[in-house]
């Protein structure tokens, strides 16, 4: 086949690719995205299937039977877990504007610039050889198509590789770095990748169907024919193909991590993802894609071995050699285009992903200096950032080409690919642990990653460099520095494993052990803690349940505006700020200091443009405050404590208040009772006043109206008038007395006094009255004085009251009154007895209450005011004593007053 035909076809294919990408970008700018569907998303994930899958799998199948399968079974097994793991990665990356796997790791472990740089180095070292074998595959497919003469002209061979590299770099630059998008969404590029996935699957199925159904009559026929040859039949079983559980396990494990953590997979699955919901469909569509692209691999290998029994044809090229051998050059050309698409899609995405890492995590953190924003250089840094990105792409391509030229030519697709897988597997503990284990910290991540990387480099790439002549051969045979247990292929004396399993085992063992061990025994930084919490509890943050800002940073609005303009371009910056103002109803031009959520917004936007670590550095140059220091944390804690103490005090206060309220309520009740009593009292008093007044009024009226009244009658009436008036005045006196007692409360003026003297004096005062009424009287006083403490006047009143009552109620004709004072058991006891009607048992409980009146001696009319005994009891109580009534030996009542002796 003519070289020019091949070149023209491939050139045309590249032109179509550009066309698809342009078309997709135009559609996107019209708002009709072609990649915003689960199907396109799943197809873009199929960038996993490279020239390795396309050519290399058949080659491996020809040697190891089903030994090529774990690389595709691993992703299938993890697919159901994507719903948890991949979706979480997407959510985290969207909120944190993460742009690459290195950025993810750097961001998780405290936005560490050094960790990001190390991760980038791991990725670059691991992936460059992988990219270069894609170039090799493309060039090999050329040579197969064109014929044997091609390979001899080494200049052309290398040139072909160079031209392909240039074309792919141009594509990556054109569609990967058109503008600086903080979301890193590249519509055209993703559309082209999805398109390529369709092409490679269709082409591979085409050749598969051709081989199985045209060269042979179906699977059964092909396998049966193969079974006739022992060297083919051995491929049908695991024992025969020499696959053991160890290799199978390690390949599966490596591919499980590769499907999400290879830089290009992370880029398509996470960074370019436009809708996390697509994961649900991709979780079965992508495994289905893998199944379809693998179903013909073993049959083609078998057919190839049958067709070329002498081993003259490299099994890696069976897909091309078979159609050519059968005289179908056009089919071969189509299949080669499929292989070309598999290789180019991988190269484009891998180069883009690496260039983002290199610029954001390797170059920028070391370019950014505090002085970057000083001065009046109003130039737009976003242009320069794109420049850095483009240069990175070119550098990656140059490195790839250099590797291709020097080393790569000697190695098979699969072995180089697996070395890359093992490198990338070093990310797995950091990413998975980082999403589910909060304790994981920067030191642990760094220790694990570095250890894993060093062991990987020693066990896997070093031997390839030795074989390429770049390193002395004795390392392989005798170990590093001649130490026997430092042989790359049998580290620490471990033999019997294939190099990949061996390297994967040791590197991951040390990686995981150090990652966990160091994380447990070292402290976490404040920022690290914040990031850990965001990554582990991303759903909490997304649902807005926890939007607390541990990063308290202050910055000038002017500085932030400048930053955004520099890194995103003036237009985008203004649009962003405009949106922020609208959302928060703020006028930023009036503010000097930016609100902390604006700082966070700028941080996120910058992270999208230049990576988390670089954004962190940049922001540090304009923000005044770093994440909360320990001191501030303590301050916050103190404030919390103060608040707690305050609330405790409040509680106490409220309890006191409650008590007070209770007391007030009680007082109020008492007042109400008193008020009621007062009202009752007044009603009674007025009633008591009205009775004599009515009598006085009636009698006086009679005397006015009847001049002719008999003098005796008039005399009688006047007598009644006088007695009734006396009754009124007595009542008023007593009310006044009562008022006096009650208003003064308990007794005020207390003095030592002789109660016997008080009794004697009062008795003497009333003696005249009693003799007038011819009452028989008796007074018994003790010899000694009876000293009590009290108010003289009031105690006098007590004695007078009791005597008056006795006089009032004693027998009208033969009255007898006896007054006895004695000193009984440390108490002064005064007994006043009469021979009146006495107090009936039923009345006794009430006799000392106000306005309790007993009928007088003549039976008809009550004589007292009803206040005397009440006053008596009140005074006695005030003096700490008590008063009782009982039957007297004279036949009437005895009132007994007890007063404590002083």
Partner 1 sequence: MGQVRAKLIGIFLLGVVLIHFPVVELFSRMPRLWGIPGAYFAIFGVWLALIGLIKHYADPERRNSKSSDV
Nearer to partner 1, 279 or 777 (CB): 279
Q: Half-sphere exposure (CA, 13 Å, Cβ side) for 331?
A: 20
Task: Among 22, 163, 213, 219, indicate the residue that binds partner 1 (CB under 8 A).
Answer: 219
Burial of 803 (0-12, 13-18, 19+ CB in 10 A): buried
Nearer to partner 1, 61 or 124 (CB): 61
Interface region with partner 1, contact rule CB under 8 A, candidates 275-283, 352-360, 550-558, 657-665: 275-283
3-state helix, strand, coil in the chain (%, to 5): 70, 5, 20
Q: Is 446 in the site for partner 1 (CB under 8 A)?
A: no
Q: For residues 609 and 726, what is the distance between their CA atoms, to the nearest angstrom? A: 112
Contact pattern from residue 26 through residue 65 relative to partner 1, giving x for each residue in contact according to CB under 8 A and a dash for the rest: ---------------------------------------x
User: Do the beta carbons of residue 90 and residue 275 sit within 8 Å?
Assistant: no
CB of 79 to partner 1, least distance (A): 6
Nearer to partner 1, 83 or 520 (CB): 83
Task: Among 66, 98, 271, 358, indicate the residue that binds partner 1 (CB under 8 A).
Answer: 66
Q: Is 224 in the site for partner 1 (CB under 8 A)?
A: yes
Q: For residues 26 and 711, what is the distance between their CA atoms, to the nearest angstrom? A: 139
Q: Is 221 in the site for partner 1 (CB under 8 A)?
A: yes
Nearer to partner 1, 76 or 511 (CB): 76
Q: Half-sphere exposure (CA, 13 Å, Cβ side) for 777?
A: 19
Task: Name the DSSP letter for residue 886.
Answer: E
Interface region with partner 1, contact rule CB under 8 A, candidates 168-176, 215-223, 459-467, 525-533: 215-223
CB of 477 to partner 1, least distance (A): 32
CB of 136 to partner 1, least distance (A): 29
Contact pattern from residue 350 through residue 379 relative to partner 1, giving x for each residue in contact according to CB under 8 A and a dash for the rest: ------------------------------
CA distance readout (Å), 781 to 93, 151, 804, 820: 109, 153, 19, 6
Our CA angle for 434, 436, 439, nearest 5°, is 65
Nearer to partner 1, 304 or 815 (CB): 304
Q: Is 640 in the site for partner 1 (CB under 8 A)?
A: no
User: Do the beta carbons of residue 883 and residue 873 sit within 8 Å?
Assistant: yes
Strands 827-834 and 490-491: unpaired
Strands (E) across 713-796 are located at: 751-754, 776-780, 787-790
Task: Among 49, 137, 269, 283, indicate the residue that binds partner 1 (CB under 8 A).
Answer: 283
Contact pattern from residue 728 through residue 767 relative to partner 1, giving x for each residue in contact according to CB under 8 A and a dash for the rest: ----------------------------------------
Q: For residues 325 and 322, what is the distance between their CA atoms, to the nearest angstrom? A: 5
CB of 346 to partner 1, least distance (A): 23
Nearer to partner 1, 296 or 340 (CB): 296
Q: Bridge-partner residues for 823, per DSSP?
A: 828
Strands 827-834 and 893-900: antiparallel
Task: Among 81, 473, 643, 674, indicate the residue that binds partner 1 (CB under 8 A).
Answer: 81
Q: Is 242 in the site for partner 1 (CB under 8 A)?
A: no
End-to-end Cα, the chain, rounded Å: 142
Q: Is 886 in the site for partner 1 (CB under 8 A)?
A: no
CB of 559 to partner 1, least distance (A): 43
CB of 81 to partner 1, least distance (A): 5
User: Do the beta carbons of residue 78 and residue 260 sit within 8 Å?
Assistant: yes
Q: For residues 623 and 899, what is the distance between their CA atoms, to the nearest angstrom? A: 88
Mutual orientation of helices 38-45 and 187-209 as an angle, nearest 10°? 70
Q: Is 91 in the site for partner 1 (CB under 8 A)?
A: no
CB of 300 to partner 1, least distance (A): 13
Q: Bridge-partner residues for 832, per DSSP?
A: 819, 895
Interface region with partner 1, contact rule CB under 8 A, candidates 219-227, 584-592, 753-761, 762-770: 219-227
Largest CA distance in the chain: 176
CB of 224 to partner 1, least distance (A): 4
The two three-digit tokens of residue 654, written as one number: 């409220």
Q: Is 714 in the site for partner 1 (CB under 8 A)?
A: no
Q: Is 642 in the site for partner 1 (CB under 8 A)?
A: no
Q: Which residue has the tokens 């009310």?
A: 735
CB of 281 to partner 1, least distance (A): 6
Q: Which residues contact 833 (CB under 8 A, 6 or more apart)?
A: 806, 817, 818, 819, 820, 888, 889, 890, 892, 893, 894, 895
Task: Among 27, 178, 281, 438, indicate the residue that binds partner 1 (CB under 8 A).
Answer: 281
Q: Is 73 in the site for partner 1 (CB under 8 A)?
A: yes
Q: Is 83 in the site for partner 1 (CB under 8 A)?
A: yes
Q: For residues 75 and 257, what is the distance between their CA atoms, to the nearest angstrom? A: 8
Interface region with partner 1, contact rule CB under 8 A, candidates 79-87, 477-485, 879-887, 894-902: 79-87
Nearer to partner 1, 291 or 643 (CB): 291
470 C-beta neighbours (distance < 10 Å), count: 11
Q: For residues 306 and 229, what is the distance between their CA atoms, to the nearest angstrom? A: 8
Interface region with partner 1, contact rule CB under 8 A, candidates 18-26, 68-76, 371-379, 579-587: 68-76
Task: Name the DSSP letter for residue 556.
Answer: B
Task: Among 287, 323, 448, 461, indicate the residue that binds partner 1 (CB under 8 A).
Answer: 287
CA distance readout (Å), 78 to 40, 95, 201, 679: 20, 24, 22, 92
User: Do the beta carbons of residue 338 and residue 6 sit within 8 Å?
Assistant: no
Q: Is 230 in the site for partner 1 (CB under 8 A)?
A: no
Q: Bridge-partner residues for 564, per DSSP?
A: none
Task: Among 28, 34, 79, 443, indicate the residue that binds partner 1 (CB under 8 A).
Answer: 79
Q: Is 168 in the site for partner 1 (CB under 8 A)?
A: no
Nearer to partner 1, 45 or 462 (CB): 45
Nearer to partner 1, 239 or 310 (CB): 239
Q: For residues 902 and 753, what is the distance between their CA atoms, to the nearest angstrom? A: 9
CB of 104 to partner 1, least distance (A): 23
| Total residues interacting with partner 1, rule: CB under 8 A | 38
Q: Bridge-partner residues for 872, per DSSP?
A: none
- φ/ψ region of 311 (left if φ > 0, alpha if ψ in -120 to 50, else beta) reads left
Task: Among 53, 64, 76, 616, indicate the residue that binds partner 1 (CB under 8 A).
Answer: 76
Q: Is 249 in the site for partner 1 (CB under 8 A)?
A: yes
Task: Among 238, 437, 580, 681, indicate the residue that binds partner 1 (CB under 8 A).
Answer: 238
Interface region with partner 1, contact rule CB under 8 A, candidates 278-286, 502-510, 526-534, 576-584: 278-286
Q: For residues 314 and 316, what is the distance between their CA atoms, to the nearest angstrom? A: 5
Burial of 652 (0-12, 13-18, 19+ CB in 10 A): exposed
Nearer to partner 1, 291 or 644 (CB): 291
Task: Among 284, 437, 580, 681, indicate the residue that binds partner 1 (CB under 8 A).
Answer: 284
Give contact residues for partner 1 (rule: CB under 8 A). 65-66, 69, 73, 76-84, 219-224, 227, 236-239, 244-245, 248-249, 252, 280-281, 283-284, 287-288, 291, 295, 298
């Amino acid at each position: 086949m003519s070289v020019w035909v091949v070149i023209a076809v491939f050139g045309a294919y590249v032109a179509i690719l550009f066309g698809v990408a342009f078309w997709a970008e135009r559609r996107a700018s019209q708002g009709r995205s072609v990649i915003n569907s689960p199907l396109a998303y799943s197809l873009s994930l199929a960038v996993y299937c490279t020239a390795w899958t396309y050519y290399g799998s058949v080659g491996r199948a020809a040697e190891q039977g089903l030994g090529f399968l774990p690389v595709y079974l691993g992703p299938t097994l993890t697919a159901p877990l994507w719903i948890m793991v991949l979706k979480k990665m997407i959510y985290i990356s969207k909120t944190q504007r993460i742009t690459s796997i290195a950025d993810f790791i750097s961001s998780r472990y405290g936005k560490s610039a050094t960790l990001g740089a190390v991760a980038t180095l791991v990725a670059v070292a691991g992936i460059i050889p992988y990219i270069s074998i894609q170039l090799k595959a493309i060039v090999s497919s050329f040579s197969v198509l064109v014929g044997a003469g091609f390979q001899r002209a080494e200049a052309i061979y290398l040139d072909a590789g160079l031209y392909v590299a240039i074309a792919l770099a141009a594509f990556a630059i054109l569609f990967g770095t058109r503008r600086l998008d903080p979301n890193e969404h590249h519509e055209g590029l993703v559309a082209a990748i999805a398109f390529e996935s369709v092409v490679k699957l269709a082409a591979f199925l085409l050749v598969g169907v051709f081989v199985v159904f045209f060269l042979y009559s179906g699977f059964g026929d092909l396998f049966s024919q193969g079974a006739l040859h022992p060297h083919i039949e051995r491929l049908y079983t695991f024992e025969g193909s020499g696959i053991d559980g160890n290799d199978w396990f390690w390949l599966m494990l490596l591919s499980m991590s590769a499907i999400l953590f290879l830089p290009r997979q992370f880029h398509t699955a996470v960074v370019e993802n436009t809708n996390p919901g697509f994961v649900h469909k991709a979780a079965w569509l992508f495994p289905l894609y893998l199944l379809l692209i693998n179903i013909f691999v073993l049959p083609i290998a078998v057919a190839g071995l049958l067709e070329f029994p002498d081993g003259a044809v490299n099994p890696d090229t069976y897909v091309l050699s078979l159609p050519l051998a059968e005289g179908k050059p056009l089919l071969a050309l189509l299949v080669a285009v499929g292989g070309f698409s598999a290789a180019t899609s991988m190269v484009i995405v891998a180069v883009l992903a690496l260039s983002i890492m290199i610029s954001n995590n390797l170059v920028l953190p070391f370019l950014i200096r505090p002085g970057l924003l000083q001065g009046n250089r109003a130039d737009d840094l976003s242009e320069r950032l794109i420049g850095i990105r483009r240069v990175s792409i070119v550098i990656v391509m140059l490195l790839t080409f250099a590797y291709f030229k020097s080393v790569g030519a000697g190695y098979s697709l699969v072995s180089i690919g697996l070395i890359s897988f093992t490198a990338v597997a070093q990310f797995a503990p950091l990413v998975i642990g980082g999403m589910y284990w909060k304790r994981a910290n920067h030191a642990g991540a760094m220790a694990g990653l570095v250890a894993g990387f060093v062991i990987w480099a020693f066990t896997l790439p070093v031997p390839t460099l030795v074989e390429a002549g770049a390193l002395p051969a004795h390392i392989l045979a005798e170990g590093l520095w001649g130490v026997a247990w430092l042989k790359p292929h049998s580290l620490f004396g471990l033999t019997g494993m294939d190099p990949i399993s061996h390297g994967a085992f040791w590197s991951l063992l040390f990686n995981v052990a150090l990652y966990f061990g160091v994380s447990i025994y070292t402290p976490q930084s404040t920022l690290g803690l914040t990031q850990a919490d965001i990554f582990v509890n991303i759903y909490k943050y997304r649902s807005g349940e926890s939007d607390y800002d541990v990063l308290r940073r202050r910055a000038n609005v002017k500085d932030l505006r400048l930053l955004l303009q520099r890194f995103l371009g003036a237009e985008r910056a203004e649009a962003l700020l405009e949106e922020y103002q609208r959302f928060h109803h703020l006028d930023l031009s009036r503010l000097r200091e930016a609100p902390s959520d604006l700082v966070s917004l700028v941080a996120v936007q910058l992270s999208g443009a230049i990576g988390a670590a670089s954004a962190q550095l940049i922001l540090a140059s304009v923000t005044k405050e770093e994440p909360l220091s320990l001191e501030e944390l303590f301050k916050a804690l103190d404030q919390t404590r103060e608040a707690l103490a305050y609330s405790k005090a409040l509680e106490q206060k409220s309890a006191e208040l409650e008590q007070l309220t209770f007391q007030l309520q009680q007082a109020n009740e008492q007042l109400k009772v008193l008020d009621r009593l007062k009202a009752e009292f007044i009603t009674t008093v007025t009633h008591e006043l009205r009775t004599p007044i009515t009598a006085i009024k009636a009698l006086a009226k009679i005397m006015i109206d009847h001049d002719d009244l008999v003098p005796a009658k008039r005399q009688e009436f006047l007598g009644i008038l006088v007695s009734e008036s006396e009754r009124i005045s007595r009542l008023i006196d007593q009310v006044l007395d009562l008022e006096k007692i009650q208003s003064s409360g308990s007794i005020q003026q207390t003095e030592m006094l002789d109660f016997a003297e008080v009794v004697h004096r009062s008795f003497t005062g009333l003696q005249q009255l009693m003799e007038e009424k011819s009452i028989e009287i008796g007074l018994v006083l003790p010899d000694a004085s009876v000293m009590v403490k009290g108010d003289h006047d009031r105690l006098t009143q007590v004695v007078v009251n009791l005597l008056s009552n006795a006089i009032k109620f004693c027998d009208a004709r033969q009255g007898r009154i006896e007054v006895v004072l004695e000193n009984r058991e440390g108490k002064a006891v005064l007994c006043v007895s009469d021979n009146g009607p006495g107090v009936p048992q039923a009345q006794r409980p009430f006799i000392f209450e106000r306005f309790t009146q007993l009928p007088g001696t003549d039976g008809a009319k009550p004589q007292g005011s009803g206040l005397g005994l009440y006053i008596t009891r009140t005074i006695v109580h005030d003096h700490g004593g008590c008063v009782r009534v009982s039957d007297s030996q004279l036949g009437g009542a005895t009132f007994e007053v007890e007063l404590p002796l002083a």
